[in-house]
Amino acid sequence: MADENVDVQEQQAEENNSGGGGKLVTILVILNTLLILAGGGYFMFIKKDPPPQIINKAMDKKAKDNKKKVEEEDEDTKEFGDSHEYKGVIVNLNEPGGSRMLKISIVFEFKAKKKKLKDALTKREAQIRSTIIMYLSGLSYVQTTGSANKELILKTIKKKVNSVLTEGKVRKVFFKEFVVQ
């Protein structure tokens, strides 16, 4: 019986030792969690943002730049400048069988002060028409339908024409006629 009491006491001592280790692990996990939460709280609530002066200066500069751009665009769009029209540009679309064609007439708008640009649009008409024809003939029927595609065509034509010109830039391009058959 005395041996049984000794065995029971040894088992209880082992359980106390192993249970103490389990408690230690639990306490360490809780402490680590608290440290992580405290660090996150520091960055979310205590850590200050950059000084307001820096933010305000950056925002003021950006606001001034945007205001200047808007004013320039307003001035540009308030008054329709001079224009030059290319009538009857006809191309076969890039379709199997070549059965579809596109006919457009386009108007280039530019600032009225740019007399040289009007002369350049006339002088370089063959080069500009060729550039437009090459671009349009690469389009498929699907690429010519819908307002989004037409806007894309206008932007691309403007970019291509401006890359050819040396005396100024076209401000806007408009379709006067757009027919797909």
Q: Are 12 and 95 contained in the same domain?
A: no
Give the number of domains in the chain. Answer: 2
Using DSSP's 3-state secondary structure scheme, residue 50 falls into: coil
- State the pLDDT at residue 137: 92
Answer whether 125's CB lies under 8 Å from 86's CB.
yes
Q: What is the pLDDT of residue 23?
A: 85
Same domain, yes or no: 55 and 102: no
Do 90 and 10 lie in a common domain? no
Residue range of the domain that includes 137: 81-180
Whether the full predicted model's pTM is greater than 0.75, yes or no, is no
Q: Is 161 exposed, middle or buried (0-12, 13-18, 19+ CB in 10 A)?
A: buried
| Amino acid 15: pLDDT | 57
Q: Which of 76, 111, 142 is the last residue of a domain?
A: 76
pLDDT at 53: 53
- What lies within 8 Å, CB to CB, of 70 at 6+ separation is none
pLDDT means over runs of 10, the chain (181 residues)? 54 56 84 82 62 56 65 59 88 87 92 76 90 93 91 94 88 93 89
Q: Give every CB contact of residue 158 below 8 A, 6+ residues apart in sequence.
A: 170, 172, 173
Residues 69, 158 within the same domain: no
